[in-house]
Structure 1
Amino acid sequence: MSKRVMTPEDLLQLRSVTSPALSHDGEHVVYVETTLHNEKNTYSAELIRASLANPDDYQYLTQGEHINRVPRWSPKADVLAFLSNRTGTTQLYVLGSWGEPKQLTDEKKGVTDFRWSPDGSRIAYSSTQFPEAEKEEDKPEPLVVNKMKYKSDASGFWQGEYVHIFTVDIDSGTHTQLTDGELSYTLFDWTADSEQLIVASVNQENTDFIFTNDLILLSVDSKEQTQLTDQTHVISDASASPDGKYLAVRAHEREYDNATQNEIYLLELATNTWTKLTGDWDVQLGPVVAADFLQNTVDPGLVWAGDSLSLTFLVSEQGNVGIYQITVDGQREAILTGNQHVYGYSISSDGRTLVAGISESGHPGDLYNVSPGTDEQTRLTTSNDSFLEEVEVVQAEEVRFKSEEGHELQGWLLKPAGFSDGESYPLVVEIHGGPHAMYANSYLHEFQTLAARGFAVLYINPRGSLGYGQEFVNAVRGDYGGGDYRDIMAAVDYVLGQNAWIDETRLGVTGGSYGGFMTNWIVGHTNRFKAAVTQRSISNWTSFYGVSDIGYYFTEWQIQADLDDTDKLWKHSPLAYVNQIETPLLILHGEKDYRCPIEQAEQLYIALKRREKTTTFIRFPESNHELSRSGKPSLRLRRLEAIGEWFEQYL
């Protein structure tokens, strides 16, 4: 039986299977299955427990129309903690043999993260706390702004809130607030004795020009804080060894601002001795994949083995994400690698049992029981099997070649669904955001819908992408529209030369965020493309400097200019080349995008229309910068349809 082709609406049929959590006996795994619902325009996420010995033996632990996520087992009992928004805000729950979830918190603004104490008696959690004086809902108040970091694409305008750390006793239900004041804290872990928490904060009154944070030990009894660093690092994770001797820390020293790769440091607590374990390893630690399908993924961070002699963690390199292990004396070993995207995992303390979430370009993702260090895998989930039996999913073909400047470039080519030799097909070039991100051997729904419409899809990692070493990721800074543009065009030339079936007169280009900037730049510098779609883009660095939630520092880091050098800002602005744009351009933008505010799209649209160029502007209500990944389902579908229809019209 022939399969039908993919549609945007198929996003509603697919299930995202993520966040595996192994039980202590190694016999079961709990995971999250996320579904999109068009009728109510919402998401739901359920917790499912499955047997490793018999994956068909599974049980839904939660059911309904809520989002239940981040399952974590107690270290000492068969009790599961998780986050759920079933009351309207995200709160902390536990589930045990009693069968019904028990709510542990009732924080007004919800719970953002949590960690079990090693003795299983308490859970530490973080929660956003607002000033005592609450505003009346029906009376709008002016927003008084006294800081530069006053808004966020994720959370909106800052109104005096701070993130603080709490504990809750499992037996008594007693809550204790451990931090207060005008500081925010990030929760990482407990120390092995269950007496202290490992947290991070910025101990500065004015953080507008502070981009590092400090590692702190926080006593859960006295609330005393011991600062372990002195604003020298950007710390993204820390975990304590089970024997209490070490802290493992993932961080970097901002040598290349936000283009700096992470390192793993080992802190010996007794001597306060720091050792960089990964100093000779030129890779990106942690997952950095640009994708649009998976929901409720969790980076496991730095995971200690039970004997305190090694750590496991995710590594992004060469278009793949895999699991590696490093010992306390710096010896590295690959645990799970290959042409795939490992988007999460759970490993037993003895390292013998590993459950990993794995996606490939032709498969949305499943959980697998993996024999560490071998190729032996048993698939545990089949959430999308019936769908995949009916719908054609195209497997990407890897593209590798050397640029004229001598560096190797990697990308992938999707042939059109139903490809037939002897036929001629148009090509759409996709450009990821960041720019410090990475396309990978992973499923991308947008690309599959374009292939289903008869387009070939080319996507590459140009200079500036993570996964290819520090020099490569740093190469884009101060050169937007230079070497990165040449890399993308070289990729187009290469695939045209290798694939005679691609019609070079029918080329399209699209991308979002930095990819939107590059789309704007490309159509202002060549007329080779017959259609383009720019999404949540940047068009004018001069105005971006003041309107983006990250504008002033991101512009200085990436363009390496500020308002004292408007000539350079304008030189790198696609709006400066609007007279040269002849390509029909569709502009897509979210109304509530604070990362690349919608005025960037408005300027470009008006400039094009004033010059009577072919363009259409679609504004997406209630949508921030994450529209394509986590926006309202109906708007995500409308976006996919608009992209496909534009390319069908002009290619």
Structure 2
Amino acid sequence: MLTAEHLLTLQSVANPVLSPSETEAVFTRTLIDKEDNKYYSHLFHLHIESGEITQWTFGKERISSPKWSPDGTKIAFLSNRDEKKQLYILHSRGGEAKKVTDLANGVSSFLWSPCGEKIWLTASVKQGKAVTDKAEKEENKFPQAYVVNGMKYKMDGLGGAGLRAQDQFTQIAVLTIADEKLEQFTTGDFHHGLAGISRDGNEIVMSVNRAENLDYEFRTPLYIVDTKTKEEKVLVEAEGYYGDVSYSYDNRYIAYVGSDTSYKNATHNNVYVYDRRTGLTQQLTEMLNAPVGDLAVADVQQGVDAPGVVWTETNALYFQLSTMGDVRLYYADLEGSIFPASPEGEHIYSYDVARSGNWAIAAISNPVFPGELFFLDITSGERRQLTNFNEEFMREVPLSVPEPIVYQTTIGDVHGWIMKPISYEKGKKYPLIVEVHGGPHTMYANTFFHEMQLLASQGYGVLYVNPRGSHGYSQEFVDGVRGDYGGGDYEDIMAGVDYALKTYDWIDESRLGVTGGSYGGFMTNWIVGHTNRFKAAVTQRSISNWISFSGVSDIGYYFNDWQHLVDIKSVDKLWDFSPLKYAENVETPLLILHSEKDFRCPIEQAEQLYITLKSLGKEVGFVRFPDNDHNLSRTGTPNLRIERLSQIIGWFNKYI
């Protein structure tokens, strides 16, 4: 039977990268070391024709961003084996990996120059210092004051107090491999991103926003930069976020992925193609009405870094598309043809495509399959499984098969899934747990979800749906939640409960539970303040008070405006949206789970809710998780992820 501890045995296979000869590939495999209580990822080699797999690195480290040299003789990657992420180069025919950088703040990203003799990289550099400067020895060990400068002064996921290094800026540099000489390319107190490089190496595409005040700047301008003269030409300067740049093989076209701000952070990502000859830009995916990229929420895949687009030699390209609960591989050409290149019912979370466009290597998951690498013959639709890291788990652990459901609400069709308990017997009644995803602009998908399977293994049915606000069903659908939190989205979820009760006679209507995290935590709080239908609830990394959220969250000061369409001056409106306002109505036993270092939904949101409910004499519990951020359920400290699952199961077992 599946347990919480199985999370520690599942292995995440991702990031396949084809060699220039296309006869071999490298990829990463991430697992959890139980004794060290840490994640380690290693580099593996795949011989495509024979299927032979060889592990190339073994250390206690996390490897990321593997990239072949243009001649296929070397692989460069980032590793934290010496604490900071540094750049390493490994010969493809054997030997030890060589560390080729020793930068004070490590390496953020890199790209091979097409000549194979240089590597472009980005690194964080202290104001007034150069990339080549060594780390300074800290002589003063006393705590130092942090003088806040600007409104974007903290960010979830940074660790520590979540404070941004305001005196550090990301610069681009060039490393000459032969002598390991590093030369800084950019200057100025701005954050520079390395978005792409031309096939001849004469241009890079750089992202940089040089506005003096970035508080209300929500854009990433892209510039084409001559690598010799440093002359810049604007590629895109519109409002919005753009990146994942890739040059076509003939060097004529530049593809990139991004979105404008028409619907703020609910806007679909699209693929754009710039013609360097005519200077015109084409929005290639305009007619799809679905977001480019992987918007699926899951809890197994680790360290995934999928390309935004991959060109073929015929000037067609491939990309991921999140649509109807799937993440599929899509094909498009410059004449307007566009169609899916992979089937429904699965989650393609990593991939690389051969130059011909006829085949690909992809990492694929589905609701009863954690994920492995496959060879995909795109022309015939045939596939061959290449890795079997989770074979033992698949062989030994029974799983529940989610059943897709569709039901009607005021916005139209709403899509979701329902799972029977693993121990299901016809004629018996079972409790049902409703799961609500975060975002709200993500989506539940046809992917493996350990938490859902755990609930099913404990004798619970599970209902999870994509209410309005979820990605994958149209721009109108994802925008439908903005300005209406607790309105149509609440209706969609409760209509799903009604549909399940009407359709499945095995559900015990008197034994319902609900849980969710982030936006799903907000919705859990909202639900228990507006209905007593649930016997128990668990709210995670939640929001209870949008007024205080505005000042304490790393995104709070603009998120209210984007999502509720009002700012902090509209206190009455924000209070109407706040679950805390309805605390007196709560009769459902509620467990509050929250990470101490969550700066996206800070723990004061949980504290307010707990103290309020406790003072009202409500049945409430509170569990705090130290040294973890907003992503506890996905990438948090392994033992605390297990504890979190145990707390959820324990609460439901106690009250349901």
TM-score normalised by length of structure 2: 0.96
Tell me the equivalent position of 2:323.
317
Give the letter aligned to residue 21 of structure 1.
V
Equivalent residue runs for 1:540-559 within 5 Å: 540-559=545-564
* Residues 1:326 and 2:332 aligned together: yes
Greater shift, 312-321 or 149-158, is seen at 149-158
Residue-by-residue CA offset, 1:431-472 (whole Å, 9 max, x unaligned): 000000010000111111111111111100000000001000
Question: 1: distance between equivalents of 2:474 and 2:174?
Answer: 40
**Aligned partner of 1:198 among 200, 205, 208:** 205
**Aligned partner of 1:141 among 141, 144, 156:** 144
Tell me the equivalent position of 2:33.
37
CA contact (8 A) 2:593 2:622 kept: yes
Question: 2: distance between equivalents of 1:635 and 1:290?
Answer: 20
**Aligned partner of 2:413 among 404, 408, 414:** 408
Equivalent residue runs for 1:459-478 within 5 Å: 459-478=464-483
Tell me the equivalent position of 1:78.
73
Question: 2: distance between equivalents of 1:139 and 1:32?
Answer: 40
Tell me the equivalent position of 1:561.
566
CA contact (8 A) 2:411 2:477 kept: no
Question: 1: distance between equivalents of 2:404 and 2:440?
Answer: 21
Question: 2: distance between equivalents of 1:260 and 1:337?
Answer: 25
Cα shift at 1:172? 2.7
- Secondary structure at 2:641 match in 1: helix
Cα shift at 1:474? 0.3
**Aligned partner of 1:448 among 440, 446, 453:** 453
Question: 1: distance between equivalents of 2:336 and 2:255?
Answer: 12
Question: 2: distance between equivalents of 1:330 and 1:250?
Answer: 17
Cα shift at 1:194? 0.2
CA contact (8 A) 1:143 1:159 kept: no
CA contact (8 A) 1:26 1:353 kept: no
CA contact (8 A) 1:336 1:373 kept: no
- Secondary structure at 2:81 match in 1: coil
Give the letter aligned to residue 586 of structure 1.
L
Q: Describe the shift of the 1:648–1:140 C-alpha distance in structure 2 as closer, same or farther (beyond 3 A).
A: same
Question: 2: distance between equivalents of 1:331 and 1:389?
Answer: 41
Tell me the equivalent position of 1:88.
83
* Residues 1:237 and 2:244 aligned together: yes
Question: 1: distance between equivalents of 2:653 and 2:34?
Answer: 25
- Secondary structure at 2:569 match in 1: helix
Give the letter aligned to residue 237 of structure 1.
D
CA contact (8 A) 1:74 1:120 kept: yes
Greater shift, 15-24 or 317-326, is seen at 15-24
Cα shift at 1:201? 1.4
Q: Describe the shift of the 1:267–1:624 C-alpha distance in structure 2 as closer, same or farther (beyond 3 A).
A: same
Equivalent residue runs for 1:40-119 within 5 Å: 40-55=36-51, 57-96=52-91, 97-119=93-115
Q: Describe the shift of the 1:137–1:357 C-alpha distance in structure 2 as closer, same or farther (beyond 3 A).
A: farther
CA contact (8 A) 2:238 2:260 kept: no
**Aligned partner of 2:577 among 572, 578, 581:** 572
CA contact (8 A) 1:19 1:32 kept: yes
Equivalent residue runs for 1:169-248 within 5 Å: 169-248=176-255
**Aligned partner of 1:621 among 613, 620, 626:** 626
Question: 2: distance between equivalents of 1:580 and 1:232?
Answer: 42
* Residues 1:284 and 2:280 aligned together: no
**Aligned partner of 1:259 among 266, 277, 302:** 266
Give the letter aligned to residue 145 of structure 2.
P
Tell me the equivalent position of 1:22.
18
Tell me the equivalent position of 1:515.
520
* Residues 1:352 and 2:365 aligned together: no
Q: Describe the shift of the 1:464–1:267 C-alpha distance in structure 2 as closer, same or farther (beyond 3 A).
A: same
Cα shift at 1:29? 2.2
Cα shift at 1:353? 3.0
Give the letter aligned to residue 556 of structure 2.
G
Q: Describe the shift of the 1:425–1:82 C-alpha distance in structure 2 as closer, same or farther (beyond 3 A).
A: same
Give the letter aligned to residue 162 of structure 1.
F
CA contact (8 A) 1:202 1:212 kept: yes
CA contact (8 A) 1:401 1:408 kept: yes
Greater shift, 608-617 or 269-278, is seen at 269-278
Residue-by-residue CA offset, 1:275-321 (whole Å, 9 max, x unaligned): 222222211101011111100111211111123x1111000000000
Tell me the equivalent position of 2:341.
335
Which residues of structure 1 form unaligned runs of 5+? Answer: none
CA contact (8 A) 1:238 1:247 kept: yes
**Aligned partner of 2:309 among 302, 305, 310:** 302
Greater shift, 23-32 or 605-614, is seen at 23-32
- Secondary structure at 2:650 match in 1: helix
Which residues of structure 2 form unaligned runs of 5+? Answer: 130-135
Question: 1: distance between equivalents of 2:156 and 2:444?
Answer: 23
Cα shift at 1:269? 1.6
Tell me the equivalent position of 2:432.
427
**Aligned partner of 1:151 among 150, 154, 162:** 154
Question: 1: distance between equivalents of 2:411 and 2:548?
Answer: 36
* Residues 1:648 and 2:644 aligned together: no
CA contact (8 A) 2:273 2:284 kept: yes
- Secondary structure at 2:108 match in 1: strand
- Secondary structure at 2:341 match in 1: strand
Greater shift, 323-332 or 281-290, is seen at 323-332
RMSD of equivalent CA atoms: 1.4
Q: How many residues align?
A: 644
CA contact (8 A) 1:77 1:120 kept: no
Residue-by-residue CA offset, 1:409-447 (whole Å, 9 max, x unaligned): 110111111211111110000000000001000011111
Give the letter aligned to residue 605 of structure 1.
Y
Cα shift at 1:221? 2.7
Residue-by-residue CA offset, 1:150-180 (whole Å, 9 max, x unaligned): 0000222122222111121222322121112
CA contact (8 A) 2:300 2:634 kept: yes
Question: 2: distance between equivalents of 1:369 and 1:137?
Answer: 55
- Secondary structure at 2:175 match in 1: strand
Same amino acid, percent of matched pairs = 44
